[in-house]
Structure 1
Amino acid sequence: MTKWSGVLPAVTTKFTEDDKLDIAEMERCFKLQLDAGVHGLIVCGSLGEASTLEPDEKIEILKTAIRVADGKVPVLLTVAQGSTKAASKLAEAGAKAGAEGFMVLPGVPYKSDQRETALHYRTVARAGGLPVMIYNNPVGYGVDIPPTMLAELGDEPLFTAIKESSDDVRRISEIKSLCGDRFAVLTGVDNLALESLALGADGWVAGLVVAYPRETVVIYELAKAGRMEEAIAIYRWFRPLLDLDVSNRLVQNIKLVEALVIGSNDRCRAPRLPLAGAERARVEAIVKAAEAKRPALPKL
């Protein structure tokens, strides 16, 4: 059974000045992730501006990531559609395009109950026929998949992982205690990542990794090697940047960090606009402070 682990970047979607997909820039940025040693790529998630993308654009982005990955790491397509029907159709298309699996959201913005949520996930998984990472983000989407419900979903072999973004690090232990090793558990909250890894999380679906890929990978590898003192030192340096992921402006925040650190751009798809004024100055100051004290990374 497929189980994903390690650092899986939730990559951003790049746009040209005339609001088309910037395939060349995505290829460059995805390659930077691979060169840093990430363990997979997740495209078209919340950070990837999924809600603004057409289905055919999502498939084009998926194919771009698969081409860059070249079989070295798995590429997952995020399925975040408003209806179960549309989500199933996207999963079918993603499977045909070569995705290794899917990260699936509830049918947002509707806030489904547990019965509706379970049926949505089962239907989408069977439509795609590939392994699924269940994305649990009750803070962002108002739909919770508690450990007891996750255990009930364990009878579906296509469910292989959960991205746990409840903002409650205790969930890591609860899932492990109730479900054992049935699911890979990946943290989805950047500024709870090391805490989650210390409690046994198998991986990190990361955001700021798109600008600081090597630092993110090194924190994960140090934590898994039991070298926590070294991991904590880098994580504490990283923390002000990681906080930028936990915001309703996470897309604009992180794209600006990418522009400043890796020479990308911070273009977004409307209605999102790049940060301006005091908001922009605040992020620029955080990046400037971080760059001034960017740590030397230990050998692994």
Structure 2
Amino acid sequence: MTQPKFFEGVFPAITTPFHQDGSVDHAFLRDHARWMMREGSRGIVPLGSLGEGNTLEESEKIAILETLVDALGDAPVIPGIGSLSTQGAVRLARAARDVGCQGLMVLPPYVYTSDWREMKAHMAAVISATELPVILYNNPIAYRTDFLPAHILELAGDHPNVRAVKESSADVRRATALAAALPAHVELMVGVDDLLLEGVLAGATGWIAGLVNAYPAESVRLFDLARAGRLAEATELYRWFLPLLRLDTGIKFVQLIKQVQEETGHGSAQVRAPRLSLAPEEIGEVRQIVQQAAARQPALV
């Protein structure tokens, strides 16, 4: 019997809000997550690339997870599990389970990358550290480790709790290959905002989204139209959304998306070093994109 699709739908890769002094703003985090859930999101994915997970201390990560689990009740909190070491990632995975998270998104190790033998050993240790369902996160652009379809199939075959793949290689051919090869219990999730429609057409059933932090209703509507095969409506909304979605694809995507949040009244542009706030000319470019989008805001029916 086919298992239910646990990771189907829109899952915001939630940004981490900071106070001016650099500490985590837990009150805003709580409210922001609840708002995105009310707009139709299926769960929340903290501590990933957009969540600036690699700048957070382990104690801060656990505190963030405690806040989100408490705020969202039964809604899934699926944290990114990343660390400099395998030991650290295993420890964080178990801490996430213990505070009530319902799944994990497992990243390759920060900084160090090598051959498949070493990367497989790292991923296997983290995946098997708990019984929670796991999303494998493939982002070779950010982490310099590329999990090829054969690697993903190997991990899925060895570990029954591997239930999804967040594919962020930005290669739609990779998504097509994975959709054709993955076993029925492993879902394909889009991990790059400006490939959402192409990813769903290739067979993706979930979206770990970035601009959802400012536009949750539009993100959910776009995903639902695409999944329903209503391509004319989905394409119209997608074309409106694309200038914003493309902000998810550059080196400064965290700063850009947080700036969009500030421009739309849904967060602060505050980031944590080594990231710096955008330069004035960059802020002006983001503001222009947001204003142009507002002038052509589609009706969501």
Provide the TM-score with structure 1 as the length reference: 0.96
Partner of 2:174: 171
Q: In the TM superposition, what whole-angstrom CA distance separates every residue of 1:252-283 from its partner, at most 9, and x where no partner exists?
A: 10001001113421111122121122111111
1:4, 1:161 within 8 Å by CA — same for their partners in 2? yes
Q: In the TM superposition, what whole-angstrom CA distance separates every residue of 1:171-211 from its partner, at most 9, and x where no partner exists?
A: 22211222242411001000001110111101111000000
Q: CA–CA distance in 1 between the matches of 2:183 and 2:160? A: 15
* Percent of residue pairs identical: 42
Partner of 2:118: 116
Partner of 1:38: 41
Instruction: Give 3-state SS (helix, strand or coil) of 2:137's partner.
Output: strand
* Off by >4 Å, runs of 4+ in structure 1: none
Q: CA deviation at 1:146?
A: 1.0
Q: Which ranges of structure 1 fall in alignment gaps of 5 or more residues?
A: none
Partner of 1:126: 128
Q: CA–CA distance in 2 between the matches of 1:77 and 1:128? A: 13
Partner of 1:105: 107
Q: 1:181 to 1:262 in 2, by over 3 A?
A: farther
Q: CA deviation at 1:130?
A: 1.4
- 1:250 maps to which of 236, 247, 253: 253
Partner of 1:58: 61
Q: CA–CA distance in 2 between the matches of 1:180 and 1:123? A: 22
Q: CA–CA distance in 2 between the matches of 1:132 and 1:190? A: 21
Q: 1:85 to 1:257 in 2, by over 3 A?
A: same
Partner of 2:84: 82
Partner of 1:96: 98
Q: CA–CA distance in 1 between the matches of 2:217 and 2:280? A: 30
Q: CA–CA distance in 1 between the matches of 2:246 and 2:117? A: 34
1:77, 1:102 within 8 Å by CA — same for their partners in 2? yes
Q: In the TM superposition, what whole-angstrom CA distance separates every residue of 1:27-61 from its partner, at most 9, and x where no partner exists?
A: 12111101100011001111111111011111111
Q: CA–CA distance in 2 between the matches of 1:195 and 1:177? A: 15
Partner of 2:7: 4
Q: CA–CA distance in 2 between the matches of 1:173 and 1:198? A: 9
Instruction: Give 3-state SS (helix, strand or coil) of 2:16's partner.
Output: coil
Partner of 1:225: 228
Q: CA deviation at 1:114?
A: 1.1
Partner of 1:289: 292
Q: CA deviation at 1:227?
A: 0.9
Counterpart of 2:261 in structure 1: which amino acid?
Answer: E
Q: CA–CA distance in 1 between the matches of 2:115 and 2:45? A: 26
Instruction: Give 3-state SS (helix, strand or coil) of 2:128's partner.
Output: helix
Partner of 2:21: 18
Partner of 2:139: 137
Counterpart of 2:242 in structure 1: which amino acid?
Answer: R
Partner of 2:201: 198
Q: CA–CA distance in 2 between the matches of 1:28 and 1:154? A: 35
Q: CA–CA distance in 2 between the matches of 1:60 and 1:124? A: 20
- 1:280 maps to which of 279, 283, 290: 283
How many residue pairs get matched? 297
Q: CA–CA distance in 2 between the matches of 1:263 and 1:161? A: 29
Counterpart of 2:56 in structure 1: which amino acid?
Answer: L
Q: Which segment drifts farther, 269-278 or 27-36?
A: 269-278
1:211 and 2:214 correspond: yes
Q: 1:127 to 1:286 in 2, by over 3 A?
A: same
Instruction: Give 3-state SS (helix, strand or coil) of 1:8's partner.
Output: strand
Q: CA deviation at 1:126?
A: 1.5
Counterpart of 1:54 in structure 2: which amino acid?
Answer: E
Q: In the TM superposition, what whole-angstrom CA distance separates every residue of 1:233-266 from its partner, at most 9, and x where no partner exists?
A: 1110000000100011011100010011134211
Counterpart of 1:27 in structure 2: which amino acid?
Answer: R
Q: Which segment drifts farther, 48-57 or 59-68?
A: 59-68
Counterpart of 1:154 in structure 2: which amino acid?
Answer: A
Q: CA–CA distance in 2 between the matches of 1:44 and 1:70? A: 19
Provide the TM-score with structure 2 as the length reference: 0.96
2:46, 2:79 within 8 Å by CA — same for their partners in 1? yes
2:54, 2:110 within 8 Å by CA — same for their partners in 1? no
